[in-house]
A and B are shown apart, each in its own frame.
Chain A
Amino acid sequence: MLMTKLFSIQNKKRDGKDSLNRKFRLSEFLAENIIKLVSFTSFAAIILIFAFVFREAAPIFFPQEKKTLSTEFQQSETYGEEPAQSTQKTSQEYASSNSGASDVASFKNLTQKEWQPVGENPKYGLLPLFIGSLKATILAILFGAPLAILAAIYSALFASKRLREIIKPAIELLASFPSVVIGFFALMTIATFFQSVFGFTYRLNAFTGGVAMAFAIIPIIYTVTEDALTAVPKYFSEASLALGATKWQTALFVIMPAATPGIFAALLLGFGRAFGETMILLMATGNAPLSTFNIFEPVRTMSATIGAEMAEVVFGDTHYTVLFFIGALLFVITFIINAIAEFYVRAKLMKRFRGE
């Protein structure tokens, strides 16, 4: 709005003067710099996210001794009842059970095998959560990636142009499925189906969550792989076909190897997406913080833990800090994975196509 006004003022001024004067125009200067400034938002966003997630997680690195609370055994006033013994007891018991709590997120506490953040001695072991995230993500990749890559191969290399114009948008529409809907579907339908077919002991488990999450990562793996396959220069396949290779031989031995870094990037992006996914896992994995590698047991993932617990923790508490720390870890892990996909793989891909 401001820019437009300035611009019109500028226009009027110019009409009287030399209209071919191109040396300096305030409107141009402002427009370019305001645009530049606004486009800086994305970069600022990344910095802000980094800064503020870590800021809330910071107390974890500087543990403080907990003061004994002066209200430890004091009671709230009651209202609307006659003082009765039994009613006093629960609060009293609660208060005493909480005394002497060692609510400190030390390094030792964070690396242990138990996640029991609420209680007398809160245990903030991140290990089961990390294993949980890893299990669910790897399962999702195992189910989703082969399907997505094969589908990409089909639509990029074998399907007729017409068919391709149906397949591609259809699979991309799958990306518009909200994760909460996929989670709901997993909770209601997939879990029941698998339990009745395989007779799982646990209805909700890493396997079910992994299958559900495969739906969330298929579109991204498909799209990136498809792009990589179609980006292979035409002369690759033309040369191969001219030498007498068949269509599938060309696909398998010429185009696929050329596009490998791109497919690898697709897998990494899928991994990053799955690792940070929240709603599907929150609804479909059972959320038990186990540190086993059995894929038919329930898992509690890092993201789901934040989603389930953050709403009700006391702000500024150790538990709150630890949840932010998990968020910071998620941010760093996905950041590294995406950066690898971005820089290393793309660079390699470009090199290969330039024939180096």
Chain B
Amino acid sequence: MMNNKFLGRSIVIMSALSTLLIIAALVYIILDIYSGGRNYLTWEFLTGNPKEGMTAGGIFPAIVGTVLLVLIMSVACVPIGTITAIYLNEYASKTSVFTKMIRFAVNTLSGVPAIVFGLFGLGFFIQFVGAGIDKSIYSDGQLHWGQPNLLWASLTMAFLTVPVVIVSVEESLKTVPNDLRAAGLALGATKWQTIRKIVVPNSLSGIMTGAILAIGRGAGEVAPILFTGVAYFLPHLPQKLTDQFMNLGYHIYVMATQSTDVEATKGIQYATAFILLMLTFSLSFVAMIIRYRFRKKLKA
């Protein structure tokens, strides 16, 4: 074997430098965005409506739109993700074709590009399901559900975030000791009772982590909602599921590329980016802490 101290040292140094560079870049991005928008980060900015052709005012409708989006999305993706994870970890035999199919599907789903989800939402929810509802329920020939809206955007996003929930819940289900399951069964509980009363309550933190991570992901993605429901500007907050909505990420995109006065809105753009960044950042931070804590509990 080669015995070259220089080579060894340079590998250590280079790898350490790479690590440092990545972390420095991360910190720099946050600071850069913060310093660009800090003059705009006021309470009024968070609670105000855009004014004067979106060159002034706040981002309240975009925040509300984002929150509604992730809430409806979680209603769909958290139960489905949790149940799938329960199936995979509690019921499925590792070798059955069905299990392999589902595992493969979950992996594939997490690798599908975000923009393809957008196309899917347009082709499936809007052009097929929505148009189908319109045709069968309403007979006035007008579109009610067959157009971009909050519901379809949320469901599209749910498809994208379901793997996040599955992975996280399954991880936590694995940490539930088998002794507990055995104890439940030994006391005469059925399998489903054991899962419902013992396994799931013990992995609640995992379900929560999954939900938080999914929300963080859903809040940050823009591509899937581009043509399934997001709007450039709306005078009102969305009032029903068939309304369009504004969104923080999309707001950044349109403000940076389509507003009438770039210079005047630069601060707004940076401030919006900072808010969105802090939102997704803190969500994944919280998820990380929960996860860290239950891992520690597991070791103890």
A and B touch in the complex (CB under 8 A): yes
A4 to B, closest residue via Cβ: B196
* A41 in contact with B162 (CB, 8 Å): yes
Are B116 and A331 neighbours in the complex by a CB distance under 8 Å? yes
A188 cross-chain contacts in B, Cβ below 8 A: 36, 256, 269-270
| A347 partner residues in chain B, CB cutoff 8 A | none
Partner among B102, B114, B226 whose Cβ is within 8 Å of the Cβ of A42: B102
B222 & A246 in contact (Cβ 8 Å cutoff): no
8 Å CB interface, A97-130 against B = none
Q: With CB as the reference atom, state the residue of chain A lying closest to B29.
A: A185
Q: Is the CB of B115 within 8 A of A45?
A: no
Known: A146-B18, A158-B15, A218-B22. A56 touches B281 (CB 8 A): no
Question: What is the total number of residues of chain B having a CB less than 8 Å from a CB of chain A?
Answer: 91
Name the A residues within 8 Å of B87 (CB-CB).
Answer: 35-36, 38-39
Question: What is the CA–CA distance of A36 and B92 in the complex, to the nearest angstrom?
Answer: 9
| B285 A310 Cβ-Cβ under 8 A | no
Q: How distant is the Cα of A207 from the Cα of B111 in the complex, in angstroms?
A: 24
Task: Given A41-B162, A42-B106, A43-B102, verify A249-B111 contact (CB < 8 Å).
Answer: no
- A215 lies within 8 A of B25 (CB): yes
Considering only residues 178-203 of chain B, those with a C-beta below 8 Å from chain A are 188, 190-192, 195
CB distance from A220 to the nearest CB of B (A): 10
Interface pick from B49-57, B122-130, B134-142: B122-130
Q: Which residue of chain A has its CB nearest to the CB of B217?
A: A176
| Chain B minimum-CB-distance residue to A338 | B111
Q: Contact: A150 with B18, CB < 8 Å?
A: yes
Cβ of B264 to closest chain A Cβ, rounded Å = 15
The one of B23, B188, B190, B280 in contact with A176, judged by C-beta atoms closer than 8 angstroms, is B280
Instruction: Return chain B residues, CB-CB under 8 Å to A331.
Output: 112-113, 116
Q: Is A350 an interface residue (CB 8 A)?
A: no
Most A-side CB within 10 Å, residue of B2, B18, B119 = B119
Contacts of B276 in A (CB 8 A): 178, 180-181
1/0 per position for A314-350, CB-CB distance to B under 8 A? 0100000001100100110011011100100000000
Assuming the contacts A27-B192, A174-B26, A248-B12, asked whether A342 and B107 have C-beta atoms less than 8 A apart, the reply is yes
Judged by a CB distance under 8 angstroms, whether A231 is at the interface is no
Query: How many angstroms from the CA of A25 to the CA of B284 in the assembled complex?
Result: 41
Instruction: Say if the beta carbon of A295 comes within 8 Å of chain B.
Output: no
Min CB distance, B66 to chain A, in Å? 11
Minimal beta-carbon separation of B119 from chain A (angstroms): 4
Q: CA of A148 to CA of B190 in the docked complex: distance in angstroms? A: 47
Chain B interface (Cβ < 8 Å from any Cβ of A)? 1-3, 7-9, 11-12, 14-19, 21-23, 25-26, 29, 32-33, 36, 79-80, 83-84, 86-88, 91-92, 98, 101-102, 104-109, 111-120, 122-124, 127-128, 159, 162-163, 166, 188, 190-192, 195, 216, 219-223, 226-227, 249-250, 252-253, 256-257, 269-270, 273, 276-277, 280-281, 283-285, 288, 292
Which A residues contact B (CB, under 8 angstroms)? 7, 19-20, 22, 25, 27-28, 31-32, 34-36, 38-43, 45-46, 48-49, 52-53, 55-56, 146-148, 150-151, 153-155, 158-159, 167, 169-185, 187-189, 215, 218, 222, 245-249, 251-253, 269, 272-273, 275-279, 282-283, 303, 306-307, 310-311, 315, 323-324, 327, 330-331, 334-335, 337-339, 342
A49-B116, A278-B115 given; 13 more Cβ-contact pairs under 8 Å: A42-B162, A45-B162, A53-B119, A53-B120, A158-B16, A169-B288, A171-B19, A173-B26, A174-B26, A177-B277, A180-B220, A180-B249, A307-B223
A-B pairs with lowest CB-CB distance, top 8 = A276-B113, A178-B220, A154-B15, A150-B18, A248-B8, A39-B87, A176-B284, A338-B111
- In the complex, 8 of the A-B residue pairs with CB atoms within 8 angstroms, ordered by the A residue number, are A19-B188, A179-B220, A179-B223, A184-B252, A247-B8, A279-B222, A303-B113, A324-B123
